[in-house]
Chain A
């Protein structure tokens, strides 16, 4: 029971701060699941990130479902996923109610203030996959560098990233 309550508390805290979409949630998930609860190691977390990349759906939902399952089975995953959805949707519908009095100008201002914070969160989201890839040996680093070149210079790859993810996964099975 206490695990379920912790899951609700953890994912409520993640959801409240989850401005700026999926990637920006990663440092929040990291903070709650690695630093605060100690449920995951850095490489567990990297694995969840990789998993969410090769399955459909928002990263935050994928992470909630998987780590919920890991901590408390099917109930855990239902509770975590539901929390990750219900909390922001409650905020959203309260805002919709209040919004009749809020001007478009104010909404724009709010977003403008939020922008550098989201950029900060995004930068933090990069640290974990980079750190773990660096620890995965020189072949993983070479693969990462090739990936960088591909997404920057090959339009097809940039527009069809799932192919690259799967291809790199297969290369990983063979060489990493």
Chain B
């Protein structure tokens, strides 16, 4: 893909896709299968790497694909393509939302959307947690540690994650699978 094609590719996907990074990733996968100009293993590697790095997954995958096709320039242009649509939309909406946030209709709308969101997140989280614990029951320890440290004791998330990560490694070194 040329630089301009990369920008349009990501801009278009990002502008019409609701539901965050994973949904965007799914659509990029489908498009990529149609194009067939990148080896499947290479693409799987990219997704895997994007998943183990911090930051929005959609942004990471845009960076990696852009880099694959056109080097650094391609990476920057692809990331811009992903970012611009949501950025512009929120920027345009923000002043109105702040101004009319107290109106009953606006509040009602957000309350309704939030109820739906809570239901969706409940489903995602339940699935994820069950899978994590099914893979290895020892995962329960770092899992609960993260929740307790951040949720109960308000420990800085970075500190909490480093501690839980270290304990997870130590636990494996000591014994458990």
Contact = CB atoms under 8 A, between A and B. Distances in A.
Q: Do A and B come from one complex?
A: yes
B145 to A, nearest CB: 7
A175 B145 CA distance: 40
Interface string A38-58: 000000001101111111111
A121 B157 CA distance: 9
Interface string B112-131: 11111111111111001100
A20 B146 CA distance: 14
Interface residues of B, number: 88
B94 to A, nearest CB: 4
Interface of B: 14-22, 24, 45, 48-60, 63-64, 67, 75, 79, 82-83, 85-87, 89-91, 93-95, 97-98, 101, 105, 107-125, 128-129, 132-133, 135, 139-147, 150-151, 154, 156-158, 161, 164-165, 168-169
Interface in A18-68: 18-23, 25, 27-28, 31, 35, 46-47, 49-62, 65-66
B60 A88 contact: yes
B120 A130 contact: no
Dominant secondary structure at the A interface: helix
Contacts of B64: 92, 96
A5 interface: no
Dominant secondary structure at the B interface: helix
B20 A144 contact: no
B147 A126 contact: no
B113 A53 contact: yes
A133 B120 CA distance: 13
